[in-house]
Structure 1
Amino acid sequence: MIEILNPAGLARARDTGALVADILQTLKSRSTVGTNLLDIDRWTRAMIVEAGAQSCYVDYEPSFGRGPFGHYICTAVNDAVLHGRPRDYSLADGDLLTLDLAVSRDGVAADAAVSFLVGETKPPESVALISATERALSAGTAAAGPGARIGDVSHAIGTVLGEAGYEVNTQFGGHGIGSTMHQDPHVPNTGRPGRGYRLRPGLLLALEPWVMADTAELALDTDGWTLRSATGCRTAHSEHTIAVTDDGAEILTVPRQARQS
C-alpha cells in the first residue's frame, strides 16, 4: 500500500515527526558511559506514554523476527546495526550506539535513527562510518523531489556510501510510511536512477542509509531480532522521515526547538 497524505495528514505527520526527534534528542543526551540499554527502553516508554502516542515496535511481529519485538526502541551497539533489541548492557566509553525509534500519534507514524559515539573516545573509523550515513541521508533527501523516482533516491544514497568505500546491503532499506510504520515503496540504499515509483507530493518516506565497516553480510543474533555485521565490524545507521512536497522534500523528524529557531 502507498499512501498520499492530504494537508491535514501532513500536519499530523509533522507533529509525530517532531515527537520522535525530541525523544531521540533526549535519549542521546542521557546515553552516557554506564547507561544501561534497558534504562533507555524504559525512558522511551515513559516519554511515548506521556505524549499520548503509541509505540510501533512493542507489538511488532514481522516474518523476519522471533515473536513480538517487546520493546519501545531499537538499541544497536558497535557491530549491531538493525533491530537492536534492548538488553542488560551498560554502555562503555567509545561504544557506537544507534537509537532507532518509530512512534504513531493521531493516526500517523514517523521513524528516525541516529548513530553516535558514547563518552570521550572517538575512533576515526567510527566517526567516518557515522558521517557516511549522514551524508548519504542528506543526498537521498535532496533527490526526493516531486517527479523523481525511487531509483533516483536510492542512487543518491548508494553513490555516497560507495564513494566512502562501503559495501551496500540491499536486504533492508528505507520504506514508505503513513498510517502504519512500514509501507510501499521499498527504498533500497543503492539503485539505478530513473527507475521505480514516481514520487508525488504528500508521500512520506523513511530513508535509512546504514553500513558496516568491512562487509555487506548480516548475521542474526541469538535473540532472534538483532542484526549484526557478519565479521564483527562496527556499523552505523541514520534515518529521517521525509515528506515529498511541491518544492522538494521536507524532513519531518526535526526537534521542535530546531523548527522554532
Structure 2
Amino acid sequence: MIRLKSPSEIATMREAGRVVARTLAAVAEAARAGVSLSELDELAADLISAAGADPSFLGYRPTWASTRYPGVLCLSVNDAIVHGIPDGRVLRDGDLLSIDCGAYVEGFHADAAITVGVGDLDDRARHLSETTRLALEEGIAAVAVGGRLSDISHAVETVARGAGYGVPPNMGGHGIGTKMHEDPHLANTGRPGRGVRLREGMVLAIEPMLIESGRDRARTARDGWTVLTGDGSRAAHWEHSVAVTGDGPVILTLP
C-alpha cells in the first residue's frame, strides 16, 4: 500500500534529508587513501547523533536478510554495487566508493547516496559515476503528478543504455516514509506509461545503479548483504529521496 505524506510530514523528511546530505558530504571529504571503512562509519554515526537524528540502516533487517545490518552507512567499493558493510578495509588510491546514508527524524526517514573517487580516479570510473548521477537527474526530471512510475524507470534506463552500462536486475528505488522501504518498488528499467500513477504526497527514493561492463549481472557476497557485480567490473550508485508535488519534484536530501 502506498502511503501519501502530508506537507508537514514531508517537511520532517526534509529535516532528515538535510542530516543525510551533510553526513554524505563529510564522509566524502574524509574518504582518502589509508582511511578504513569503519572509520568513515564512525564519523557518520557521530554526525547523525550530533544532529539529533537516528541512523536508518543500523540494525535494519528487511525480509530477505538473514541478519541485521551492522553499520550506519553502506560503503561499496569498486565491484560492490550496494549494501557494502563498513569493515576494516582500508581505502586505496583510485578506489571508486559509493556512500549510502539513511537517517530518520521523528519517525520519518530520508535516504541518499553518492559515488566518489579516492585520490586519482581514472577516466572510465569518473565517466561511470557521472553517468549514474545523470541517470538520477533524468529520473527526477520525469517525476510529475499524473505521470506513471515507469516514466522514471525509463528515464534512468535510457541514460544507462545510451552509455553502454549494465543495470543490476531486480534492484532499484522504493517508497520511503515511516519505513525505510515502502511501496512502490521503483525499477531502474522499464517502458514508459506503466505502473502506478504518481500522486501528490508520494515520496520516492530514486537510485540508479550502473555496471561498467554493460552486463546486467549481480550476485550477493557471503556476508549476506553486499551486492557485487557478476563479472568483477566496477559499479556506481547515486540516490535522492524525492517528494511528488503539484509544483514538480522536490529533492528532500539536499544540504
Name the TM-score, length of structure 2 as normaliser: 0.97
Q: Distance in 2 between matches of 1:170 and 1:221?
A: 16
Q: Distance in 2 between matches of 1:53 and 1:205?
A: 20
Cα shift at 1:27: 0.7
Q: Distance in 2 between matches of 1:191 and 1:117?
A: 30
**Which residue is 1:125 aligned to?**
124
**Which residue is 1:237 aligned to?**
237
Q: Distance in 1 between matches of 2:99 and 2:5?
A: 27
Unpaired runs of 5+ residues, structure 2, are none
Q: Distance in 1 between matches of 2:252 and 2:69?
A: 25
Asked if 1:63 is matched to 2:45, the reply is no
Unpaired runs of 5+ residues, structure 1, are 256-261
1:182-233 deviation per Cα after TM superposition (whole angstroms, max 9, x unaligned) = 0011110011111011111111100000011112111221212111111111
CA RMSD across the alignment: 1.0
**Which residue is 1:106 aligned to?**
106
Q: Distance in 2 between matches of 1:70 and 1:122?
A: 29
Cα shift at 1:65: 2.5
Q: Distance in 2 between matches of 1:79 and 1:103?
A: 25
**Which residue is 1:160 aligned to?**
159
Q: Distance in 2 between matches of 1:58 and 1:10?
A: 23
- SS of the residue corresponding to residue 115 of structure 2 reads strand
Cα shift at 1:172: 1.1
| Structure 1 residue ranges (4+ consecutive) displaced by more than 3 angstroms after TM superposition | none
- SS of the residue corresponding to residue 5 of structure 1 reads coil
> Are the equivalent residues in 1 in contact too, given 2:217–2:229 (CA < 8 A)?
yes
**Which residue is 1:180 aligned to?**
179
Q: Distance in 1 between matches of 2:41 and 2:65?
A: 18
Whichever residue aligns with residue 240 of structure 2, its letter is H
Q: Distance in 2 between matches of 1:14 and 1:145?
A: 19
**Which residue is 1:258 aligned to?**
none
Whichever residue aligns with residue 201 of structure 2, its letter is G
- SS of the residue corresponding to residue 47 of structure 2 reads helix
**Which residue is 2:190 aligned to?**
191
Whichever residue aligns with residue 115 of structure 1, its letter is T
Q: Distance in 2 between matches of 1:115 and 1:182?
A: 21
Q: Distance in 2 between matches of 1:130 and 1:26?
A: 19
Matches within 5 A, 1:71-150: 71-119=71-119, 121-150=120-149
Matches within 5 A, 1:39-58: 39-58=39-58
More deviation, 211-220/172-181: 211-220
> Are the equivalent residues in 1 in contact too, given 2:96–2:121 (CA < 8 A)?
no
Cα shift at 1:159: 0.5
- In structure 2, the CA distance between the partners of 1:10 and 1:63, relative to structure 1 (3 Å rule), is closer
**Which residue is 1:17 aligned to?**
17
Residues paired across the two proteins, number: 254
- SS of the residue corresponding to residue 23 of structure 1 reads helix
Cα shift at 1:44: 1.2
**Which residue is 2:203 aligned to?**
204
Cα shift at 1:45: 1.2
Name the TM-score, length of structure 1 as normaliser: 0.95
Q: Distance in 1 between matches of 2:57 and 2:44?
A: 11
